[in-house]
Homo-oligomer: A and B are copies of this chain.
Amino acid sequence: MAEFSQVELDEIYAFAIQLGKDAGQMLMDAAKLRMSGGGTGEQKEHVQKENAVDLVTETDENVEAYIRNAIEKKYPSHKFVGEESYSKGASRDYLIDDSPTWCVDPLDGTVNYIHLFPMFCVSIAFIHKNEPLIGVINAPFLNQFFSSCRGRGAFMNGDQPLPLIRNPVPPLPEKAPSGCVFSCEWGKDRRDRPDSNMHRKVESFVNMAAELGGRDGRGGMVHGMRSLGSATLDLAYVAMGAFDIWWEGGCWEWDVAAGIAILQEAGGLMTNANPPEDYANAPIEEVGLGSRLYLAIRPAGPSAAETGRQSQERTVREVWRRVRNLDYSRPGA
């Protein structure tokens, strides 16, 4: 399979940005309809008859169909993997191969959208040879639009380069995770069994939060613990530099593909959430897009003592020292 030239990528990027704008507008239009109780006439009857979850599912499907159709028309040879169409299929296989592929979540932060909490977005990634090359994330209720194209940088709202703090980009704190904002999600797996994912997560969260010296030396005393309810926006905020660390298990490739593209283009690091046995020395490898287990570290510049990458890797190991292995598998993985 041939590589894409920068000119070709730029054209796909411009198309993806327009898709993100249109899809964001569709999400906001449907949200406003729910705010107003449905306007008048048939629409009003429809909004009042359906419950919030049904209306949101309908919007979700409409937005995915819109994006899929636009892509099929413009790039008929490209593959399409979307959250809605995937979820309806029987398989949970990882479907992305070396072909040019669009990986789309029409609505990330679905629970937020149902409740009209503004942390929701559309996420559109263009992937080639398993590498996310282009990412577009539009959070229309926040007026925040994130995008990146391999070779062109990563941006907020078109013109603000990511990370936001630059000239210089600060290194990770010396005592990381202390001084870091840690982003994590409780997720949907709430089983109250010994060693369930919920309990493994909570134990890890408490280690990250507790005072230094606490938790048998694993207390991380992070600067802040944040849970937004959107994996995609978590990643966007890591790329922005607003979150230092995001640690999560259980989400899928369409939740992270655009975020990974933007994070990597901004200079961030993405690796595996689950600590290897020799966490202090194991090589820090790029995570597979479909691994369902992600640890992201924000872009970092050098200090007098370290390169940016060194401070990122040091932070990865400090997180690994404090978190439990999570149990999210998938067929064939």
Interface residues of A (CB under 8 A from B): 34-38, 52, 111-112, 114-118, 142-144, 160, 164-168, 170, 181, 185-186, 190-192, 198, 202, 205-206, 209-211, 213-215, 219, 221, 223-229, 237, 240-244
B115 near A37: Cβ-Cβ < 8 Å: no
CA distance A191 to B219 in the complex (A): 10
**Distance in Å: Cβ of A144 to nearest Cβ of chain B:** 7
Contact among B111, B118, B221 with A224 in the assembled complex (CB-CB below 8 Å): B111
CA distance A191 to B223 in the complex (A): 14
A181 near B211: Cβ-Cβ < 8 Å: no
CA distance A242 to B237 in the complex (A): 21
- Residues in B neighbouring A227, C-beta threshold 8 A: 225-227
A118 near B242: Cβ-Cβ < 8 Å: yes
B223 near A115: Cβ-Cβ < 8 Å: yes
**Distance in Å: Cβ of A119 to nearest Cβ of chain B:** 8
B215 near A206: Cβ-Cβ < 8 Å: no
- Residues in B neighbouring A242, C-beta threshold 8 A: 112, 115-118
- Residues in B neighbouring A185, C-beta threshold 8 A: 225
- Residues in B neighbouring A142, C-beta threshold 8 A: 118, 142-143
Ranked 8 nearest A-B pairs via Cβ = A37-B167, A192-B214, A117-B242, A186-B225, A111-B224, A192-B210, A227-B227, A190-B211
